[in-house]
Amino acid sequence: MKSITNTASRRRFIKTMAACSATMASTKGWSAENISAPSERRFLFVIGANGGASIVDSFLPILDTESSTGINTFTASQIQQINSSNFRCPKPMNNLIQDAIPLGDGYDMSNFLSKHSQDMAVMTQQCSSVNHQIASRRSVTGNDINAGRTLQEAVAMQYGMDLLLPNANMASTDYGGEGNDKTLAAKARPEIIADPRFMAFATHGHKGINNAPNAALIARARQLRQQLDQTSEHRKAFNARPKVANYLHNRDTLMPQLESAELINKLLLLKQSPNGQPLSDYALEQSQEAETLFSYFPNLQNDPFEAQTALAYLLIKSGISCTATIEPSDTPYINPAIGAVTSPLAFDWSHIDHRGAQNAMWGRVMNMTDKLISLLKTTEFGAGQSLWDRSFIYIATDFGREKVSEGGSGHDLNNGNVLLSPFIKGNRVYGGINTDTAHTYGFDRITGEATPNQHMDEGDVYSAVCHAMNIDFDGRRDIPAMVKNS
């Protein structure tokens, strides 16, 4: 089998550094008038399908007529095929938790295929761990193929050093955590956002507080604090410590930048204050994008995954971040009108109900992905391009599941990932599947030809994303079969 490895190009490195140094921080968003937006900017969204999202229960389903064993198969009545798509998918199921609580939001994944197949690829993979923490971490570090740097950190280093919060992490697991690269710039490390609905308040030190002192008085107090710091023995002793230096940078440099950019209003996703009072009572106002976001995500005030997806879009659109990580919660969200929109333990509910959990959770993830792409497609980046023209979505899985059609399933190393971007040659599967065992296998990186005796690993997936995002590193495995203009 042919394969190639591409080491970092000095010419590309110099070009990239020149582009970064020529840009200046901007929070105006990406519009045709925003001349400070670098023309090569690219955006990465990582969606953590935590708990073991099985690719053969989503976009690689096997018909019972195709298998001699019946392992992990579907009947023709359970599957949908879209004329414009080379993929097929299961129909929404009538899922229940403990035979009592309706499960899933009812999203039909064929809608996703009809709209987005041309920018979609399924890349098969053999994972190296079935431990949730280890496997999710390896899914974004490529099993440390790039000196331990996560995909998000790599994107932040190349495309976000001029942004205020380049790497936004809303995941509660290791999909959005820090990598192991000790040389990484502090600014590229993930900024943890615990609750996207209230993230805006973290961008201002006093606005939104009833009866707060006026801005001039607060400025005087901060100036006095600086003077007192200079005489502090603690400050003198620990000023050079990395954690103290980072804290002081955030307090004295980053916070004034966030405040002056009025992010508290740009990112505010509340319709009213938590106690029911109008936002204007606190000298606050909704984001200008709020009404649009509420039309796409009507439950974002209560649904954490909707709120994460909405804020991920808003951070990119507002020119604040270049990568955002989101994931559905392990805790089920109950919508009184529907039931349990997400299952307990997310995809790991497959231990109890494999088909029900996989069907409900894949529908849930693709529903949010559909809305995110739709928003990106309707938002201008500049020069006749939309934000989607500059974006990559990686639906990261920690591992697969045992190949079963009924009952519960355990963890399995064999699986695949969903990649979405205009930068890839979409509407195809990279790799193949043995219809008798339901196990996937790999492909030739140059030709794309499915190769039954080949398996792709976490480093291949990491390399595919970096290749498409035009990010070089020593040891990158180029995949010209998948990446456009490579």
The answer to whether the beta carbons of residues 416 and 450 sit under 8 Å apart is no
| pLDDT computed for residue 38 by the predictor | 61
What is the radius of gyration, based on Cα positions, of the chain? Answer: 23
Q: What is residue 383's predicted lDDT score, i.e. its pLDDT?
A: 85
Phi, psi dihedral angles at 232 (to 5 degrees): -75, 130
**How would you list the strands of the sheet with 101-103, edge to edge?**
95-97, 101-103, 339-340, 334-335
Task: Assess contact for 161 and 272: CB atoms under 8 A.
Answer: no
CA torsion, points 132, 138, 139, 140, in degrees to nearest 10?
120
What residues pair up with 428 in beta bridges, in sequence order? 121
How crowded is the C-beta side of 224, counted as CA atoms within 13 Å? 6
Q: Where are the domains of the chain?
A: 10-197+269-468, 201-265
Gap between the Cα atoms of 307 and 310, Å rounded: 5
CA atoms within 13 A on the CB side of 248: 14
Round to whole Å and give the CA distance between 353 and 332. Answer: 15
User: 381-413 pLDDT, tens per residue?
Assistant: 988 999 999 999 999 999 999 999 999 999 999
How confident is the prediction along the chain (486 residues), in pLDDT tens digits per residue?
Answer: 333 344 444 334 333 333 333 333 333 344 433 333 466 899 999 999 999 999 999 999 999 999 999 999 999 999 999 998 999 999 999 999 989 999 999 999 999 999 999 999 999 999 999 999 999 999 999 999 999 999 999 999 999 999 999 999 999 999 999 999 999 999 999 999 999 999 999 999 998 888 888 889 999 999 999 899 889 988 888 888 888 888 888 888 999 999 999 999 899 988 887 778 888 888 888 888 999 999 999 999 999 999 999 999 999 999 999 999 999 999 999 999 999 999 999 999 999 999 999 999 999 999 999 999 999 999 999 889 999 999 999 999 999 999 999 999 999 999 999 999 999 999 999 999 999 999 999 999 999 999 999 999 999 999 999 999 999 999 999 999 999 987
Q: Which residues lie below 8 Å from residue 220, measured CB to CB, with a gap of 6+? A: none
Give the residue carrying structure tokens 């003198």.
Answer: 236
Q: Which residues contact 73 (CB under 8 A, 6 or more apart)?
A: 62, 63, 64, 66, 67, 405, 438
Contact (Cβ atoms closer than 8 angstroms) between residue 167 and residue 186: no
Contact at 8 Å (CB) between 328 and 50? yes
Give the closest residue to 416 by CA, choosing from 391, 392, 434.
434
> What phi and psi, each to the nearest 5 degrees, are found at residue 339?
125, -150
Q: Which amino acid is at 40?
A: E
Amino acid, res. 299: N
Give 5-29 pLDDT, tens digit per residue: 444 443 343 333 333 333 333 333 4
Specify the pairing of strand 62-63 against strand 73-74.
parallel
The pLDDT of residue 275? 79
Query: DSSP H helical segments within 117-241, as ranges?
Result: 132-141, 151-159, 215-231, 233-238
- Residue 95's φ and ψ, nearest 5 degrees, are -90, 150
**Quick one: pLDDT at residue 208?**
86
Query: What are the two backbone dihedrals, phi and then psi, of residue 350, each rounded to the nearest 5 degrees?
Result: -60, -25
Rounded CA-CA distance 486/202 in Å is: 41
Q: Kind of pairing, strands 414-420 and 391-397? A: antiparallel
As given in the structure block, the two tokens for residue 340 are 């349990």
Whole-angstrom distance between the N-terminal and C-terminal Cα of the chain? 19
The H or E element spanning position 168 is strand 167-169
Measured in whole angstroms, the distance separating CA 242 from the mean position of its chain's CA atoms is: 28
Residue 361 corresponds to which tokens in the numbers above?
Answer: 């959770």
Helix (H, G, I), strand (E, B) or coil at 459: helix
Task: List the structure tokens of 77.
Answer: 């009545």
Residue 279: the pLDDT is 85
Closest CA to 471 of 460, 462, 484: 462
Class of domain 10-197+269-468: alpha beta
